[in-house]
Structure 1
Amino acid sequence: MGSKLPQDQLELYKRIDEILFYKWDPIGISNGDWARDEYQSYLPRVFKMAIENGSAKEIANYLTKISTEYMGLSEAKEHDLAVAKLILEVKNSVGLS
């Protein structure tokens, strides 16, 4: 992201990055740091969706689209929805509503 974020948004951005790598992890690489940046290209869009009050379903649909259309994986809609809900829980926990 090119501009400076307020502290609460920066915290959310970092936490979403961690969630995508450690919890979403559709290709199963989170057991090593060698590919730590693998999902970071999706981070700005997921962050924007969360900040702009996207629903868990909207965020989950985006995650599913990435994993199926761009990565060629099978759908994991329930997992993607659980991850999206976690993202929104973290958003609330850092004081953003």
Structure 2
Amino acid sequence: MGQKLPPEQMELYTRIDEILFYKWDPIGISDGDWARDEYQSYLPHVFKLALENDTPEPIADYLTVITTENMGLSKAREHDLKIARLILEVKEGIAL
């Protein structure tokens, strides 16, 4: 990440990391910590999208691109929207 975040943003960053690993998990690796860093390369951009948006579509769009273009998996649009909504709920709960 390269920069020190305020505590509220650091909490959001950490929570998004957890959401991506445990809830989004398109390749099904969350049952073991051996691949804990698998989705962390996507984390900074998802975090940025969460800070910049109040609607789930931009986040879901990015998750869908990762799933289909980067991972070569089938589109799971409803799941990606569900995850994006969860990220925004967490953001609201932190009151950034």
TM-score (norm 1): 0.97
**Alpha-carbon distance between aligned partners in 2 of 1:6 and 1:53, rounded to the nearest angstrom:** 18
Gaps of 5+ in 1: none
- RMSD of aligned residue pairs (Cα, Å): 0.7
Whether 1:4 and 2:4 are equivalent positions in the alignment is yes
Task: Note the alpha carbon deviations across 1:13-68, whole angstroms, 9 max, x for none.
Answer: 00000000000000000000000000000000000001112520110010000000
Aligned pairs, number: 96
Whether 1:47 and 2:47 are equivalent positions in the alignment is yes
**Alpha-carbon distance between aligned partners in 2 of 1:66 and 1:7, rounded to the nearest angstrom:** 28
Find the counterpart in structure 1 of residue 23 from structure 2. 23
| More deviation, 67-76/53-62 | 53-62
**Alpha-carbon distance between aligned partners in 1 of 2:80 and 2:86, rounded to the nearest angstrom:** 10
**Alpha-carbon distance between aligned partners in 1 of 2:60 and 2:54, rounded to the nearest angstrom:** 10
Gaps of 5+ in 2: none
SS in 1 for 2:19: helix
**Alpha-carbon distance between aligned partners in 1 of 2:86 and 2:80, rounded to the nearest angstrom:** 10
Counting only pairs closer than 5 Å after superposition, residues 1-97 of structure 1 correspond to structure 2 as: 1-53=1-53, 55-96=55-96
Structure 1 ranges of 4+ moved more than 2 A: none
**Alpha-carbon distance between aligned partners in 2 of 1:4 and 1:32, rounded to the nearest angstrom:** 29
TM-score (norm 2): 0.98
